[in-house]
Structure 1
Amino acid sequence: MKILSICGIIAAQLLVHLADAQGCSNVVLRRDIMSLSQQEWNQMTYVLRRMNDDGWFRYFADIHNYEFGNIHGNDHFFPFHRRYLRDFEEVGQRYDRNFAVPFWDELRDSRNPAGSPVMSSARIGGNGFGACVSDGLQNGWTMSFPNPHCLSRLYDMGNQMHSWYSPEYIYSVMQRNNDMHGFRENIEFSLHGSVHLGIGGDMSTPYSSNDFAFFLHHANLDRLWDQWQSWGHADTIDGRDRFGNPLGLGSALPHYGDPIGSTMRLGTGRMCFRYVGGSSSRREQSALKLVSAPAASSADSADTNLARLPANLLQKWFPHVNHENGPLNGSNSTRSSLAPSAPSGKKMVYPAPLTDAWVSMHRFDRAKVDKAMQEAREFVDDLNTANYLSPY
């Protein structure tokens, strides 16, 4: 009887898995935007221009603007944006069956975002100084929402941007938060806001999805969520919506009405996409490769340098990294951390704080934001005092 019962449970789980997988005959791969060939980028440009000409950028900007208060500053943030990007991706697939939203590995460019090749004329273009972006993907486009205008950008330091959050800090956030609420809040108060504010212009408004940079940015945030989920948080949903109601897997997403649970697993249901370098082979990779994708030697160097930190700082900021076993409790990737070779790299730098206008627009708790900002500065101070050198 017990054997039959176990077999029944296994069969039921298999049926659920097969049911979840329905509708995913075409699972597309989301890739780093800089890995796309010129031909692939040209095809993406064609699809995106067609989408704008047919009114789809207006459609998505309207949704994001209308739902703004429901999807920021609360724990709908990650599942809503995953569903929203998938909606955008599905529309793109009406023009090209293999269309997939790429991601921008922003952590790799965090020290000097304005110098990123992503913001060159060969990709999405650069600064507009508060006026029209004059090169790259959306040069010459008319954005329709909330009224006809050219796409605007205004870097937060004029022709430069403040530094964003480092791979090391985001890796620390991922390790130190085991609940969705804490993970979401720390990401929303850090990397999410710094990219929007750094680029500025349309990106600093509730209709920020006018700028294709929005989709690159949120695909990367979603990729980080996918990575965090693979660390034992596959079905972790907690926290509350904007009205204080508790959230669970059955809670309805703003605008779409789908249950949050329908967004939780990539490659199943309607989530017919995966990230290149995704969770299937992740356990064998080095720790910082899980967060960012620089050259292998850079990631290995970062892992090595982290493992040299004093034990008290490892416990404080990287509780799953230790001198004996390296990252993720047993990966072989940093066994070389005890080698006597001298570390090389650069001192950590402070990331830009959220502005008062941004905090007000999102109705964030200012005290919580200030606490998060102070923690980020403390992180930099601690690593610099310990003579940690970043290869990023």
Structure 2
Amino acid sequence: MNDRGSLWRGPLGHRCRASIGAPKVRVSPHSWENLTMRRTLQALSILTSLALAAPCLAATPCQRPASLPRKEFRQLTPAEWTAFSNAVLALKREMRSETISTYDVLAKVLMDNGRSAQGNASFLPWHRRYLKELESNLRRVSGNAAITIPYWDTERDSQVPSASPLFTNAFMGGNGPVSTGVFAGWRPAYPSAHPLLRQFDNGSGISAWQSVEVVRSIVSTTTSYDVFRTRVESGNHARVHTGIGGDMAGTQAANDPIFWLAEANTDRIWDQWQKANRGVNASKYGGRNATAATAALTDRLNPWANTVADVMAAENLGYCYQ
């Protein structure tokens, strides 16, 4: 990819390169931040002992030494999880106005661009660009240029999703108004200020999602980009959103920090499909765009200046999936 100065300049006016050498944000004493620190120190040690026995989609090794790996959240060290979650918290503390934080501004990007982001060919590249916007801001606000967004292998937890460690106190907390986990007491600003809410679609549980075998078949047998995009978007992507419910079920889904891990998994599956069969799918793109015209690599990914072509290769954006 070229080195255009505007490449990662988004609605917040930041570039990812600006994160290198950026000052660290001082943690101010909010009650939910102190709770986060205690829980992090007490509970995150389970990360190193979580079993990896469940089947999962095979990881693709980073093919460029400069690419930073996005790891499944269970693969993170306690220090890596703490760095990521603290950076998200820092974005929530960084205020753009009296009541609106940088995180809220980022979340509203999805609300304002739903037509571009859903139900058309740009679904996958748009979300890839959106993930990069968050990742760039995490690095900027923390001063840590090595932070990447972890992904949630939802297929691994597909049969009993509510039993995923992600819903425990060590990570994202559970059902209802979120009062446990790293983001306990989180209050999104849009569409109006409210406690972060999850409403599991099966009472205290979540209905089963597509298994790893089903998703593996989609990756290995689908040859058309448009068919692949449709199957992925209407499959586990949609089921995860409706299964978790609450904020995740609507256009305000990015209010919930769990959104980013779920979308990173969707991006990972696209990356695997692009690299399948010796990379024959790497440049495939097609279908209809947000205006119902024939989709093209030159289509712009609003609200950014980037085109689809800019984001077709994950490792050109400086990351890979581990």
Whether TM-score is above 0.5 comes out as yes
Deviations 1:145-186 (A, max 9, x none): 122111100000110010011111111222332111100101
Establish whether residue 91 from structure 1 lines up as the match of residue 128 from structure 2: no
Q: Which segments of 5 or more consecutive residues in structure 1 lack a partner in the other structure?
A: 1-16, 277-392
Corresponding residue for 2:67?
Answer: 27
Could you say what secondary structure the match of 1:107 adopts?
Answer: coil
The CA deviation at 1:41 is 1.7
Corresponding residue for 2:153?
Answer: 105
Deviations 1:81-105 (A, max 9, x none): 0000001000000112211100001
Deviations 1:335-376 (A, max 9, x none): xxxxxxxxxxxxxxxxxxxxxxxxxxxxxxxxxxxxxxxxxx
Corresponding residue for 2:205?
Answer: 160
Map 1:295-314 to 2 at 5 A: none
The structure richer in helix per residue is 1
Establish whether residue 177 from structure 1 lines up as the match of residue 222 from structure 2: yes
2:239 to 167, 184, 194: 194
Could you say what secondary structure the match of 2:315 adopts?
Answer: coil
Q: Aligned pairs, how many?
A: 254
| TM-aligned CA distance change 1:18 to 1:198, over 3 Å | closer
Could you say what secondary structure the match of 2:148 adopts?
Answer: coil
Once residues 209 and 62 of structure 1 are traced to their aligned partners in structure 2, the CA distance between those partners, rounded to angstroms, is 8
Do the aligned partners of 2:84 and 2:149 also contact (CA within 8 Å) in 1? no
Once residues 26 and 89 of structure 1 are traced to their aligned partners in structure 2, the CA distance between those partners, rounded to angstroms, is 16
Could you say what secondary structure the match of 2:84 adopts?
Answer: helix
Once residues 263 and 121 of structure 1 are traced to their aligned partners in structure 2, the CA distance between those partners, rounded to angstroms, is 35
Corresponding residue for 2:84?
Answer: 44
| TM-aligned CA distance change 1:26 to 1:175, over 3 Å | closer
With CA pairs under 8 Å and 6+ residues apart, which has the higher RCO, 1 or 2? 2
Do the aligned partners of 1:57 and 1:209 also contact (CA within 8 Å) in 2? no
Corresponding residue for 2:57?
Answer: none
The CA deviation at 1:107 is 0.5
Once residues 80 and 235 of structure 2 are traced to their aligned partners in structure 1, the CA distance between those partners, rounded to angstroms, is 32
Once residues 66 and 273 of structure 2 are traced to their aligned partners in structure 1, the CA distance between those partners, rounded to angstroms, is 25
The CA deviation at 1:255 is 1.3
Q: Which segments of 5 or more consecutive residues in structure 2 lack a partner in the other structure?
A: 8-16, 18-63, 95-100
AA aligned to 1:202 is D
Once residues 260 and 3 of structure 2 are traced to their aligned partners in structure 1, the CA distance between those partners, rounded to angstroms, is 29
Do the aligned partners of 1:239 and 1:247 also contact (CA within 8 Å) in 2? yes
The CA deviation at 1:236 is 0.6
Once residues 141 and 211 of structure 1 are traced to their aligned partners in structure 2, the CA distance between those partners, rounded to angstroms, is 9
Larger radius of gyration: 1
Once residues 26 and 209 of structure 1 are traced to their aligned partners in structure 2, the CA distance between those partners, rounded to angstroms, is 29
The CA deviation at 1:137 is 1.8
Do the aligned partners of 2:173 and 2:179 also contact (CA within 8 Å) in 1? yes
Could you say what secondary structure the match of 1:109 adopts?
Answer: coil
> Percent identity at matched positions?
30
Once residues 202 and 177 of structure 1 are traced to their aligned partners in structure 2, the CA distance between those partners, rounded to angstroms, is 32
AA aligned to 2:293 is N
Once residues 65 and 185 of structure 2 are traced to their aligned partners in structure 1, the CA distance between those partners, rounded to angstroms, is 36
Once residues 307 and 76 of structure 2 are traced to their aligned partners in structure 1, the CA distance between those partners, rounded to angstroms, is 33
The CA deviation at 1:26 is 5.9
TM-score (norm 1): 0.62
The CA deviation at 1:243 is 2.1
1:56 to 80, 83, 102: 102
The CA deviation at 1:18 is 8.2
Could you say what secondary structure the match of 2:69 adopts?
Answer: strand
1:265 to 313, 317, 322: 313
Could you say what secondary structure the match of 1:29 adopts?
Answer: strand
The CA deviation at 1:267 is 2.4
Once residues 293 and 236 of structure 2 are traced to their aligned partners in structure 1, the CA distance between those partners, rounded to angstroms, is 26
AA aligned to 1:65 is M
